[in-house]
């Protein structure tokens, strides 16, 4: 026995420092383990993309369950869930161009660019699309691909590249910017790519949101600087600053606006859907273009959130903009990007506190509910606020198990999970900043869920109702362009994007952007 122990100790003394040293480099995971995670993520990406190419292209998406091509809803013009993003312009292909660079697949990158050259001369398409969605997914995809194709310093430049991706981006930009020609001063939310915003039915032009109005600035700014046509940046900057000037004395902006009158239609704010990328683009624009004014906007708006919206456990809650009174006790799946943004802002403590709430959601549901109630309504009602919840207590007439299920289900206010990227995005940023293997473990769990539960015959199907697990007949383009991209990057410490030479800002759709004098 003693001999065995001595051998064991010797073994540990001999090998522990080696194991420790190599695992420390990759935050506690060995390189072969990380390599395996990368390969598995890569093969998921190719499963999704190749399914799209085989069955979906040239349409916008592929139905992951039936393998039919998927495009706009021509029967119901009010089906904005589909029609806002699907412009009949091979959406998935444009949105995933730079993902091939991230995966280190130069051939795939060049092949897809050639395919675009062969298929698209312009965006002269009779389709009503949402300006924000088209900007972040298609224009953003084109700009990032153009940067990689043209900038020799990044190692993906294409021989004899003639800038046609930028010409396409310019064509698209000129169509999208027409939406700003609205007397009210607020851009129309939608436009018709061929005929302009006036061709869009009025019923679709009423409701705008703060994120939609302010989040064109990164793509439009880059487009202006690369083409030397200032119009895009001038207009989007002016729109952003106008919006910011209508903040309340508390420094808060409401989330919805009537585009016809430029009047806010609610008085509530938070960090999730409808306002998320306002914060994101204030900070990212200030970094990409070294802009003091936008840095001040970020600082001031974040300070207001810390003061009025953050609660005692670190959730950024929804509040009234004029008096900061609690408004709605829920958070949404889109808000899960905020911890990642806070990493970029250098505020790790608040990033981690808010992240742990989403982590808990992932752990509980194996997904992030689209909207989740943190009020504990039924419990508080049953006990008239007298008894705080304890995991071993139950509701009247229920077992402990039944109580847990009831409370879990009660809390899901919107039940779908379309494989959104935000939680993975924040996991990635927190890992980059801390190198804590905890985040790699979270990533590994997400990867397993993709392999086991989200994988479908032709790509990946989201969940229609996370309480029962019914599947969604849709793979949005962001599954490939964002969710799997961030997951891959999480497992790839030596990716070009993590080197000084490859540094970039990710757009809200995870397209890497950079800009300096050499690109002018």
* Contact set with ligand DMJ (CB under 6 A): 136, 277, 334, 420-422, 478, 482, 508-509
The nearer residue to ligand DMJ, 208 or 508, going by C-beta atoms, is 508
Smallest separation, CB 280 to ligand DMJ (Å): 7
Quick one: 60 or 482, whose CB is closer to ligand DMJ? 482
**The one catalytic residue among 61, 219, 280, 370:** 370
Rounded least distance, CB 506 to ligand DMJ, Å: 10
Q: Which two tokens stand for residue 312?
A: 């005692």
C-beta of 507: minimal distance to ligand DMJ in Å?
8
| Closest by CA position to 99, among listed 36, 29, 148, 28 | 148
CB of 136 to ligand DMJ, least distance (A): 6
Q: Which helix (H) or strand (E) holds 327?
A: strand 326-328
Nearer to ligand DMJ, 173 or 421 (CB): 421
Nearer CB in complex with ligand DMJ: 444/509? 509
CA–CA gap between residue 399 and residue 160 (Å, rounded): 70
Nearer to ligand DMJ, 273 or 327 (CB): 273
The smaller minimum CB distance to ligand DMJ, of residues 34 and 341, is found at 341
DSSP element (H, E) containing 414? strand 412-414
Phi, psi for 463 (deg, rounded to 5): -110, 130
Considering the complex, state which of residue 432 and residue 485 has its C-beta at the smaller distance from ligand DMJ: 485
Taking residue 268's Cβ as centre, other Cβ atoms within 10 Å add up to 18
**Please, what is the minimum distance in Å from the beta carbon of residue 370 to ligand DMJ?**
10
Identify whether the C-beta of residue 92 lies closer than 8 Å to the C-beta of residue 56. Answer: yes
Nearer to ligand DMJ, 34 or 333 (CB): 333
CB of 466 to ligand DMJ, least distance (A): 15
CB of 142 to ligand DMJ, least distance (A): 16
Cα–Cα nearest to 518, from 494, 501, 496: 501
* HSE-CB for 155 with a 13 A CA cutoff: 13
User: Least distance (Å) from ligand DMJ to the CB of residue 334?
Assistant: 6
Judged by beta carbon, residue 150 or residue 277, the one nearer ligand DMJ is 277
Q: Which of 246, 350, 225 is nearest to 289 (CA)?
A: 225
Distance (Å, rounded) from C-alpha 133 to C-alpha 190?
A: 9
CA distances from 232 to 38, 124, 223, 290, 511 (A): 38, 19, 7, 18, 19
Residue 422 C-beta: closest distance to ligand DMJ, Å: 6
Which class for 410: exposed (0-12), middle (13-18), buried (19 or more C-beta within 10 A)?
A: middle
Bridge partner list, 208:
257
* Alpha carbon distances (Å) from 320 to 87, 108, 257, 274: 36, 49, 15, 15
CA angle, 124 then 126 then 129, to 5°: 100
472 vs 468: CA distance, rounded Å: 12
Query: Is 233 a catalytic site residue?
Result: no
Q: With the C-alpha atoms ordered 182, 187, 190, 194, is the resulting torsion angle positive or negative?
A: positive
Measured CA to CA, the distance from residue 270 to residue 308 in angstroms comes to: 10
CA distances from 447 to 38, 106, 484 (A): 10, 24, 9
Give the DSSP H or E segment for 264.
strand 263-264
What Rg do the C-alpha atoms of the chain give, in angstroms? 24
- The C-alpha atoms of residue 185 and residue 179 are separated, in whole angstroms, by 10
| Catalytic residue annotation | 370
């Amino acid at each position: 026995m003693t001999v065995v122990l001595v051998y064991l100790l010797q073994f540990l003394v001999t090998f522990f420092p080696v194991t420790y040293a190599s695992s420390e480099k990759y935050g506690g995971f060995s390189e072969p383990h990380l390599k395996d995670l990368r390969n598995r993520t890569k093969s998921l990406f190719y499963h999704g993309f190749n399914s799209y190419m085989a069955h979906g292209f040239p349409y916008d998406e592929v139905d992951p369950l039936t393998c039919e091509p998927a495009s706009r809803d021509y029967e119901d013009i009010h089906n904005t869930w589909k029609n806002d993003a699907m412009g009949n312009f091979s959406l998935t292909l444009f949105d995933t161009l730079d993902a091939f660079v991230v995966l280190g697949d130069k051939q795939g990158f060049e092949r897809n660019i050639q395919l675009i050259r062969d298929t698209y001369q312009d965006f002269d398409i009779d389709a009503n699309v949402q300006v924000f969605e088209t900007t972040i997914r298609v224009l953003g995809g084109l700009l990032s691909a153009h940067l990689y194709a043209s900038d020799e310093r990044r190692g993906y430049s294409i021989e004899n590249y003639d800038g046609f991706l930028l010409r396409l981006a310019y064509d698209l930009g000129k169509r999208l910017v027409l939406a700003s020609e609205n007397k009210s001063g607020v851009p129309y939310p939608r436009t018709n790519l061929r005929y302009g915003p006036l061709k869009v039915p009025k019923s679709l032009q009423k409701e705008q949101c703060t994120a939609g109005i302010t989040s064109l600035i990164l793509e439009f700014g880059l487009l202006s600087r690369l083409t030397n046509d200032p119009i895009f940046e001038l207009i989007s900057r002016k729109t952003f600053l106008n919006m910011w000037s209508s903040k309340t004395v508390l420094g808060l902006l409401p989330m919805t606006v009537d585009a016809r009158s430029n009047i806010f239609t609610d008085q509530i704010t938070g960090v999730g859907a409808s306002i998320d990328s306002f914060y994101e683009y204030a900070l990212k624009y200030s970094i990409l273009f070294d802009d003091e004014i936008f840095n001040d906007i970020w600082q001031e708006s974040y300070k207001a959130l810390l003061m009025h919206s953050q609660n005692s456990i670190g959730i950024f809650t929804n509040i009234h903009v004029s008096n900061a009174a609690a408004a709605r006790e829920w958070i949404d799946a889109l808000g899960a990007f905020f911890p990642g943004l806070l990493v970029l802002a250098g505020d790790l403590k608040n990033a981690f506190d808010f992240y742990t709430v989403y982590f808990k959601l992932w752990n509980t549901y194996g997904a992030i509910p689209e909207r989740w109630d943190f009020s504990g309504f039924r419990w508080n009602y049953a006990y008239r606020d007298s008894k705080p919840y304890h995991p071993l207590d139950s509701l009247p007439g229920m077992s402990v198990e039944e109580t847990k299920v009831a409370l879990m289900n009660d809390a899901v206010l919107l039940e779908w999970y379309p494989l959104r990227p935000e939680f993975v995005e924040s996991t990635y940023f927190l890992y980059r900043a801390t190198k804590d293997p905890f985040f790699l473990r979270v990533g590994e769990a997400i990867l397993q869920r993709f392999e086991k539960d989200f994988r479908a015959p032709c790509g990946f199907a989201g969940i229609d109702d996370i309480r029962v697990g019914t599947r969604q007949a849709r793979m949005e383009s962001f599954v490939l362009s964002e969710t799997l991209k961030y997951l891959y990057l999480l497992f790839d410490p030596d990716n070009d994007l993590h080197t000084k030479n490859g540094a970039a800002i990710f757009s809200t759709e995870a397209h890497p952007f950079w800009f300096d004098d050499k690109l002018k």
